[in-house]
Structure 1
């Protein structure tokens, strides 16, 4: 190859993993060739690959970030189209985990690929040395293992294994593409069984299952103890097995026991349970089957969640579990394992062996503890990695208890002694190495994290809901800090304080945070409190304060770039809409959802969306075209399910760039802001030509039709009427121009009428109590 650019990828194997990998390549805007075998009937020789793409277009959660991405997938079969590999820069093999079949494919690939084309396997069980046995030196030089995690769009981990003959430049090319284009965090692994995440993950699950059977712990209590209190997803242990499939567990066990050394601790705990074997044989393979440890009983037309009794094998109604309380429930691991009785004993039965095992595989599986922690956080969605967990408990305390219980104490645990595996020194996060020294945690070029900046800096301004940080090069970061980063008066107050600070001493502002949600919108709890005591002046102050703050940002004398990720709803969406540019993470779920709680956007969202759709060159012109489109999007509380879809819906401009890797978001947003500094002028205030009463009549007809078809409730009509009043310009004449300030006034008046409506108040309360919209 003439350069290091990956312009086209081939994925061989259109099963769940292979198809998902192909979809993520397409999500990155890169053409991908998806091949599989010719089906036995042979009527349509590309049927398997074509069927995989068709299935993904219907799958939820969606593998594709938008339907346009699917067009980048070219389908074919191995017999007729393998020669097309010559045009690809990276070939990913994701076929069945059988060495003979993989080696047969590599022999064919070697004849058709272009020299220098990277070839990788998605294997999680077969050593690289075995995969390349018998291949030429040239093939070995271009070969590596790239182990993705399922589902490939959403799981950020990719484990990379390079062989002794792998070309470092080829490995670097693949690593960089996986990082920047596919949004993955590459973790370098040694060529050892199970690599990192599945090796620890399989051990952890086995230890937890064994202990539950041995100690008589119910599946619900096991998940309550081994889930959220440990920083593990709420599925816990048995819920996770149901999710990934009971039938996968024996396969993983067999794979590891056949490849790990005889003295590996996993060999001692690997065992089968007759109940699990019985469940699998009867089709209880988890969520993909009739159920697993949990099932939904639909007898008599009902829908009852049931859990299995591990002793009797009988199902009964799930009762939930609250056996863990207080600080232990919030992640205090030292307290969790010290709780007297079954809760503490079970927690220790999981954590003790798992943390010991995690420490034992460094440097055999990966060179540093950072690799282990990253693998478990990104591959299994743990909040903390094993070594971060050890620091929470205390390494010395952990060693003491391991010894008391006769459990192995790995050298690395002895070595750290009374110290910690991580520390902060001179404003740098450091990790404990196998050489006994501490080393700086080094971020890749182009990665900038607020958590690192906070190690050596104090905020420029701070209150209980927001903070302002200097992120270097004349750029300031506005961070929300409330629960779910909700927005209220304190946020707006800080924005107004920030503008003169930035204008005086800095060049630009980025709105960004490192929570799981950019912002879930306005603080509904405060709003409903004010409604309940009829403190309408407080609600008015919240709406007007938000309008004033966001417009002050919009017309500030410096560039403002919003960098959302995760949820950006309601007011969070309006924060983005009022920015000069948006640099969204690919997994941004953005929308104006106010109608779902019986209100309408109040912080300028209506005008900002109208402006985008009026300016959209691909959208029809005319007074009603933009109004109808924005009404459709906002009245149905439509949320974009990706940044790509946000562009299609108009929340994100066509000129806005998307960041695929979450860790690169702040850096990219900062660069975008700096690129706008020279010659920056605030935008001109827009004016709108809106249809007035005739436009409202047309929108009312549409809502009436929805109501007749049972798709709109009586209160939906009330909310839609207020929204239509704003979007059509109120009592304007179509020959007159409506200013932005007039639209804001209409928003404010419509919002206040709705919050006084008991049906809207009921919607807000219901959302706060249940997290679901009320259809009243």
Structure 2
């Protein structure tokens, strides 16, 4: 009988171990964090305690909220290892030394309960070596769980069971990491580097060597090896700076020791004197004095990059690829300039290497592609890239270059590695047949729905989809999922269609971000031609659409992930419930661009705070909370923080696994169907002139501290007018319609001011706020 996982022990409070402990705590599970006792330390738990304190100050934050840190109990391996026996899963994350790990395992083997999972977070030591000489009973409960750094944000978890590991235990750990910690599980074989690091380190090795051979600058190499291939803009050299240059010699040595002499990693490996010198001088990347890039503060925070030939830092000037090559990877690898030659030298070898490793490191190509997407943030895995370039074309060019063509690449021939058949995704197998890509139970992706069906409604900005069981899904499809006239029009039509033929609606997108809010570019254009009537109509249309959603005769569930800002937050406030991904960053940010919420957000937030548990009675406490958050354009750093901000209510849900969000939102919508009735229209008791004066005084306090500008004071004053009820007396009830009129009036007053228009233009141009 395998015990459920209700408590976790993490041994090793370094960056990885502490980060794993933080993510367990983020999920609401108690965790015991242990490390060694420092020599001569007065506090025997100093290392674990310092790790928790450090994480509370780290940005990006390992903890989703300060409350999560309270679930981490600290201790040390001398006094407290016995307490690990009370845990259901023990994660070892100590330094990558086999001797130290085995000493720890022998101690754990004496105290651990049968059925208690024990795993290592190693990325370089084979499982077979870890278990050498340990009892069979311990081996049955042992596996590798390789998290990626930082554990909160990186979705990949590579799971490596041993030949005698209990399959039920593997499933229990995998299910916990999937459903509770939000990880995407990729089962790996016990091979060097597993999947992501095996291919990823080869990609970095080839990226560095080929750049030096081809005479490219660091900036040029990263421009080629980044966005054209759907790889983060850090490219190769920026990624090396991020992970730490000093780690690379250790990884290289480990891989060389484990791989055969014929492996492409070993064949292409070479010593790099420049890298050795940089590490010796403290240039270990972002955690050191800099790396391949650095910030020269003596020159006024100038970004510099190192010359790969000279070893001298010069101002980083970036690199502009030819237009066609920057947008099309096929055009890039086909071009006969230094960029094209570099692109092929790296990716040709990497794609060939990946194809040669099936089935050695993974039984199928889908696992390899998933590992590279999730572990290295590639938009497409190697075999998806091969389909973009054409497998037959890649095979032919490898042959022309005199390089080996892997059997799998020969076998697929002029076909593709993936295809859509009957609305299902299929992948090419090592048996020469296509196999359906199965989704885990409880995973529902809108992309899959789109392959199998046509939209119920669609225009250039949004679409409505049938996701089954009487539930429709409204999807925004503009840039950054911003709201424009097309979105609002289709939303109105969708409410009518769902009312007549469906049970419920969810608001969701597979895209990275739920919505960045209103389309400021359209607003600025209207203002520049003084089309104030059109601006007012747009505000009124948004209010009408959102209230139409709120009072629809069916339940509506918002399912945000990523950014949900401004109007993206406001539409969530009008839903009956929210099922948010854990990494949801939301807030009413309009004041940052010199505006205020104009689509009902002010009233909805007042309602949320007024009904919050333990909120003091009277009109001012709730209004003060809303003023504080909205005037400072506060954005949650997680769904847990969104709950503390009252964007999420107590009954709203949080989903940790991004792939399960739509399924969970649909289930939540269906749970609301029986006996559903729209909410009653609210009446507000607002503080009037006295409250407005109090909010103005608070803003003046920020101004005195230099935290607010002159125009911030203007914006805060307009916001205070709305939140206080305008000219209403505190004894009078203010209707929802009156609140909407106030929002429109004060919004229009602000958007006509020059400083607000300057803020909007600056934000659109630079992506950064203007402090004027």
TM-score band (shorter)? over 0.9
Q: Structure 1 residue aligned with 2:699, among 703, 706, 718?
A: 703
Alpha-carbon shift at residue 87 of structure 1 (Å) = 1.1
- Choose which of 424, 438, 441 in structure 2 pairs with 1:442: 438
**Alpha carbon RMSD of aligned pairs, Å?**
0.8
The residue matched to 2:581 in structure 1 has which SS?
coil
> In structure 2, how many angstroms separate the alpha carbons of the residues matched to 1:50 and 1:373?
38
Give the distance between the partners of 1:19 and 1:613, measured in 2 at CA. 34
Q: CA deviation at 1:619?
A: 2.4
Cα deviation 1:33-92 (Å, max 9, x = unaligned): 000000111311000000000000000000000001000000000000011111100000
Residue 364 of structure 2 is aligned with which of 358, 363, 368? 368
Offset at residue 4 of structure 1 (A): 4.5
Partner of 2:544: 548
Q: How many corresponding residue pairs?
A: 772
1:549-588 alignment to 2 at 5 Å? 549-588=545-584
> Is residue 2:55 matched to residue 1:71?
no
Aligned to 1:148: 147
Can you list the C-alpha shifts for 1:274-319, whole angstroms capped at 9, x where unaligned? 111111111000111111111111116x111111111111111111
Any idea what SS the aligned residue of 1:455 has? helix
1:750 aligns with 2:760: no
Give the structure 1 partner of residue 426 of structure 2: 430
- Determine the structure 2 residue equivalent to 1:487: 483
Matching of residue 251 in structure 1 with residue 247 in structure 2: no
Of the three residues 664, 674, 692, the one matched with 1:678 is 674
Question: Which residue of structure 1 aligns with residue 723 of structure 2?
Answer: 727
Are the equivalent residues in 2 in contact too, given 1:250–1:272 (CA < 8 A)? no
1:526 aligns with 2:522: yes
Q: How does 1:220-299 map to 2 (within 5 A)?
A: 220-299=219-298
Aligned residue runs from structure 1 range 591-610, under 5 A: 591-610=587-606
The 5 Å alignment of 1:334-733 reads 334-733=330-729
2:326 corresponds to which of 325, 329, 354? 329
Deviation at 1:437, TM superposition (A): 0.6
Superposed displacement of residue 111, structure 1? 1.3
Question: Comparing 441-450 with 497-506, which one deviates more in the overlay?
Answer: 497-506
- Inter-partner Cα distance in structure 1 for 2:468 and 2:364: 29
Corresponding position of 2:167: 168
> How far apart are 1:340 and its partner, in Å?
1.9
Corresponding residue of 1:125: 124
Cα contact 1:225–1:324 (8 A) shared by 2: no
Task: Indicate the larger mover: 723-732 or 315-324.
Answer: 315-324
Q: Which runs of 5+ in 1 are unaligned?
A: none
* Cα drift, residue 110 of structure 1: 1.0
Distance 1:668 1:500 in 2: 24
Q: Which residue of 2 aligns with 1:305?
A: 303
SS at structure 1 position matched to 2:57: coil
Deviation at 1:243, TM superposition (A): 0.8
Answer yes or no: is the 8 Å Cα contact 2:3–2:115 preserved in 1: no
Distance of 1:455 and 1:299 partners within structure 2: 55
Map of 1:773 onto structure 2: 769
Which residue number in structure 2 is paired with residue 114 of structure 1?
113
* Contact 1:719–1:754, Cα closer than 8 Å, also in 2: yes
Q: What is the CA–CA distance in structure 2 between the aligned matches of 1:735 and 1:672, rounded to whole Å?
A: 38
> How many Å separate the matches in 2 of 1:449 and 1:370?
16
Aligned to 1:761: 757
The yes-or-no answer on 1:317 pairing with 2:343 is no
Residue 183 of structure 1: CA displacement?
A: 0.5
Query: Which residue of structure 2 aligns with residue 46 of structure 1?
Result: 45
- In the aligned structure 1, how far is the partner of 2:769 from the partner of 2:160? 47
Rounded Cα–Cα distance in structure 2 between residues aligned with 1:63 and 1:581? 27
Q: Is the 8 A contact 1:157 1:379 kept in 2?
A: yes
Which secondary structure state, in structure 2, belongs to the residue aligned with residue 85 of structure 1? helix
CA distance in 2, matches of 1:407, 1:532: 59
SS of the aligned residue for 1:407 comes to coil
- The answer (yes or no) to whether the contact 1:324–1:343 under 8 Å persists in 2 is no
Report the CA distance between 1:227 and its aligned residue.
0.7
SS at match of 1:534: coil
What is the SS of the residue equivalent to 1:397?
Answer: helix
Distance 2:438 2:108 in 1: 37
Deviations 1:680-700 (A, max 9, x none): 000011111101101001111
How far residue 273 of structure 1 moved from its aligned partner, in angstroms, is 1.3
Shift of 1:620: 2.2
Between the aligned partners of 1:377 and 1:316, the Cα distance in structure 2 is: 33
Runs of 4+ in 1 over 3 A off after TM superposition: none
